[in-house]
Structure 1
Amino acid sequence: WDASAPRLTPGYSPRELRESEFGRLAETVYLDHAGATLFPQSQLTNFTKDLMENVYGNPHSQNITSKLTHDTVEQVRYRVLAHFHTMPEDYSMVFTSGSTAALKLVAEAFPWVSRGPEKSGSQFCYLTDNHTSVVGMRKVAEAMHVTYTPVSPEDMWSAEEQSAVACDPDCQLPHLFCYPAQSNFSGTRYPLSWIEEVKSGRLRPVNVPGKWFVLLDAASYVSTSPLDLSAHQADFVPISFYKIFGFPTGLGALLVNNRVAPLLRKSYFGGGTAAAYLVGEDFYISRPSVAERFEDGTISYLDVIALKHGFDALERLTGGMENIARHTFALARYTHAALSSLCYPNGAPVVRIYSDSEFSSPDVQGPIINFNVLDDSGNVIGYSEVDKMASLYNIHLRTGCFCNTGACQRHLGISNEMVKKHLEAGHVCGDNVDLIDGQPTGSVRISFGYMSTFEDAQAFLRFIIATRLRLPGGQPVPQASTGEGGALSAEGKVDCVSRWESTCMDSSVWNNSSSTVNTVGLCPALSKASSTQQTLSEKAAGILPGDRGPHIVTNLYLYPIKSCAAFEVTRWPIGNQGLLYDRSWMVVNHNGICLSQKQEPRLCLIQPFINLQQRIMVIKAKGMEPIEVPLEEGSEQAQICQSKVCTDRVNTYDCGEKISSWLSKFLGRPCHLIKQSSNFQRNAKKKHGKDQFAGITATLSLVNEAQYLLINTSSILELHQHLNTSDENGKEELFLMKDLISRFRANIIMNGTRPFEEETWDEVSIGSLHFQVLGPCHRCQMICINQQTGQRNQDVFQKLSESRARKVNFGVYLMHTSLDSSSPCFLSVGSQVVPVLKE
Structure 2
Amino acid sequence: MGHSHSRSSSAGLDLGHASNTPVLHRKRSSAFSALTLGCASAPYAASLPSYGDYPTREDRSSFSDRDEKRSYDPPPLYAISTTPDIIEDAAADAYKAFLKEYPQYQLTWMLDALRRSDFSRLDRSGETYVDYMGASIYPASLIRVCHGFLQRSLLGNTHSVSNTSRLSAECADEARQTVLSFFRAPPGYTVVFTPNATGALKLVGESFPFGPGSAYVLGADSHNSVHGIRQFANARGAEVRYIESTDVGGFDVADAKSVLVGHQPRGEGAPPCLFAMTGQSNISNSKNPLSMIEFAASRGYYTLLDAAALAPTSVISLTDTPVDAMAVSFYKMFGFPTGVGALVVKESFLARLERPWFAGGTVDVVQAPGNIVTLSAELHERFEDGTINFLNLPPITDGLRFLSAYLPFLPLRLSTLTRHLITSLSELQHDTTGTPVAKILSRRPGKILKTVGEQSDTGSVVALLFLFPSGQMIPNSFIEYAASRQNISLRTGCMCNPGGAASLLGLRDAMAALPCDATLRAFEQYMGRELGVVRISLGLATDFRDVWRVIQFAKSLADTDARTAMWDEWLGDRTGVAL
Q: TM bucket by the smaller chain?
A: 0.7 to 0.9
Change (3 A) 1:356 1:448: closer
Q: Pick from 246, 250, 253: which aligns with 1:157? A: 253
Cα deviation, 1:142-189, whole Å, max 9, x if unaligned, reads 222222222213464333676957975435321111121000112110
Q: Pick from 433, 437, 461: which aligns with 1:368? A: 461
- CA contact under 8 A between 2:415 and 2:445: conserved in structure 1? no
Q: Pick from 149, 171, 174: which aligns with 1:72? A: 171
Q: Pick from 375, 397, 416: which aligns with 2:511? A: 416
1:122 and 2:214 matched: yes
CA distance in 1: counterparts of 2:520 and 2:348, whole angstroms: 49
- CA contact under 8 A between 1:93 and 1:253: conserved in structure 2? yes
Amino acid at match of 2:116: E
Q: Pick from 538, 547, 557: which aligns with 1:467? A: 557
Shift of 1:451: 0.5
- Equivalent position of 1:41 in the other structure: 140
Change (3 A) 1:13 1:244: closer
1:190 and 2:285 matched: no
Shift of 1:412: 0.7
- CA contact under 8 A between 2:192 and 2:342: conserved in structure 1? yes
Change (3 A) 1:291 1:438: same
- Equivalent position of 1:254 in the other structure: 343
Residues matched between the structures, number: 462
Amino acid at match of 2:232: V
- Equivalent position of 1:574 in the other structure: none
CA distance in 2: counterparts of 1:168 and 1:270, whole angstroms: 36
- Equivalent position of 2:566 in the other structure: 797
Q: What runs of 5+ residues in structure 1 fail to find an aligned partner?
A: 116-120, 202-210, 475-793, 802-806, 815-839
TM-score of the aligned structures, taking structure 2 as reference length: 0.74
Shift of 1:459: 0.6
* Structure whose CA Rg is larger: 1
- CA contact under 8 A between 1:797 and 1:808: conserved in structure 2? no
Amino acid at match of 2:155: Y
1:290 and 2:350 matched: no
- Equivalent position of 2:6 in the other structure: none
User: Which one scores higher on RCO, CA 8 angstroms, separation ≥ 6?
Assistant: 2
- CA contact under 8 A between 2:175 and 2:394: conserved in structure 1? yes
Change (3 A) 1:424 1:84: closer
Deviates more, 1:304-313 or 1:56-65: 304-313
Cα deviation, 1:783-834, whole Å, max 9, x if unaligned, reads xxxxxxxxxxx76223678xxxxx77876589xxxxxxxxxxxxxxxxxxxx
SS in structure 2 at match of 1:339:
helix
Amino acid at match of 1:377: S
Deviates more, 1:250-259 or 1:165-174: 165-174
Change (3 A) 1:72 1:218: same
- Equivalent position of 1:100 in the other structure: 198
CA distance in 1: counterparts of 2:133 and 2:577, whole angstroms: 38
CA distance in 1: counterparts of 2:193 and 2:265, whole angstroms: 35
SS in structure 2 at match of 1:270:
coil
Q: Pick from 307, 326, 333: which aligns with 2:419? A: 333
SS in structure 1 at match of 2:275:
strand
Q: Pick from 389, 404, 409: which aligns with 1:300? A: 389
Q: What runs of 5+ residues in structure 2 fail to find an aligned partner?
A: 1-86, 88-94, 449-454
Amino acid at match of 1:53: R
Which one has a larger percent helix, Structure 1 or Structure 2?
2
- CA contact under 8 A between 2:284 and 2:442: conserved in structure 1? yes
Amino acid at match of 1:378: G
1:20 and 2:117 matched: yes
Change (3 A) 1:161 1:128: closer
Cα deviation, 1:237-274, whole Å, max 9, x if unaligned, reads 01111001111001111111233222111232212222
1:212 and 2:310 matched: no
Shift of 1:105: 0.7
Q: Pick from 394, 408, 431: which aligns with 1:322? A: 408
SS in structure 1 at match of 2:137:
coil
CA distance in 2: counterparts of 1:437 and 1:813, whole angstroms: 20
Shift of 1:7: 5.3
- Equivalent position of 1:179 in the other structure: 277
1:356 and 2:443 matched: yes
Shift of 1:437: 5.3
- CA contact under 8 A between 2:217 and 2:241: conserved in structure 1? yes
- CA contact under 8 A between 1:357 and 1:364: conserved in structure 2? no
Amino acid at match of 2:272: P
- CA contact under 8 A between 1:372 and 1:380: conserved in structure 2? yes
CA distance in 2: counterparts of 1:93 and 1:810, whole angstroms: 48
Change (3 A) 1:296 1:279: same
Change (3 A) 1:61 1:334: same
Cα deviation, 1:549-589, whole Å, max 9, x if unaligned, reads xxxxxxxxxxxxxxxxxxxxxxxxxxxxxxxxxxxxxxxxx
- Map residues 272-283 of structure 1 onto 2, 5 A cutoff: 272-283=361-372
SS in structure 1 at match of 2:179:
helix
Which one has a larger percent strand, Structure 1 or Structure 2?
1
Amino acid at match of 2:544: F
SS in structure 1 at match of 2:105:
coil
- CA contact under 8 A between 1:8 and 1:324: conserved in structure 2? no
Change (3 A) 1:55 1:125: same
- CA contact under 8 A between 1:352 and 1:373: conserved in structure 2? yes
Shift of 1:411: 1.2
1:141 and 2:233 matched: yes
- CA contact under 8 A between 2:466 and 2:474: conserved in structure 1? yes
CA distance in 2: counterparts of 1:348 and 1:215, whole angstroms: 44
- Map residues 76-91 of structure 1 onto 2, 5 A cutoff: 76-87=175-186, 89-91=187-189
- CA contact under 8 A between 1:467 and 1:798: conserved in structure 2? no
Change (3 A) 1:31 1:421: farther
Cα deviation, 1:386-414, whole Å, max 9, x if unaligned, reads 11111111111000000011111111122
Determine what percentage of the aligned residue pairs are the same residue.
Answer: 31
- Map residues 694-773 of structure 1 onto 2, 5 A cutoff: none
Shift of 1:352: 1.2
CA distance in 1: counterparts of 2:465 and 2:365, whole angstroms: 57
Amino acid at match of 2:254: S
- Equivalent position of 1:426 in the other structure: 521
CA distance in 2: counterparts of 1:274 and 1:437, whole angstroms: 51
Amino acid at match of 1:172: A
- Equivalent position of 1:564 in the other structure: none
CA distance in 1: counterparts of 2:135 and 2:575, whole angstroms: 37
Cα deviation, 1:290-314, whole Å, max 9, x if unaligned, reads 2111112110001111212212433
Amino acid at match of 2:333: I
SS in structure 2 at match of 1:265:
coil
- Equivalent position of 1:55 in the other structure: 154
CA distance in 2: counterparts of 1:161 and 1:106, whole angstroms: 23
- CA contact under 8 A between 1:7 and 1:13: conserved in structure 2? no
SS in structure 1 at match of 2:380:
helix
Change (3 A) 1:108 1:261: same
Amino acid at match of 1:157: V
Change (3 A) 1:21 1:391: same
- CA contact under 8 A between 1:272 and 1:296: conserved in structure 2? yes
CA distance in 2: counterparts of 1:187 and 1:425, whole angstroms: 24
Cα deviation, 1:47-70, whole Å, max 9, x if unaligned, reads 010011111111111012211111
CA distance in 1: counterparts of 2:511 and 2:210, whole angstroms: 29
Cα deviation, 1:186-243, whole Å, max 9, x if unaligned, reads 2110111100011112xxxxxxxxx311111000110111111111111110111100
CA distance in 2: counterparts of 1:322 and 1:348, whole angstroms: 39
CA distance in 2: counterparts of 1:313 and 1:161, whole angstroms: 38
Shift of 1:281: 2.4
- CA contact under 8 A between 2:108 and 2:413: conserved in structure 1? no
Structure 1's consecutive aligned runs of 4 or more residues displaced over 6 angstroms after TM superposition are 807-810
Shift of 1:19: 2.9
Change (3 A) 1:354 1:811: closer
- Equivalent position of 1:110 in the other structure: 208
CA distance in 2: counterparts of 1:409 and 1:19, whole angstroms: 40
Change (3 A) 1:288 1:156: farther
Shift of 1:45: 0.9
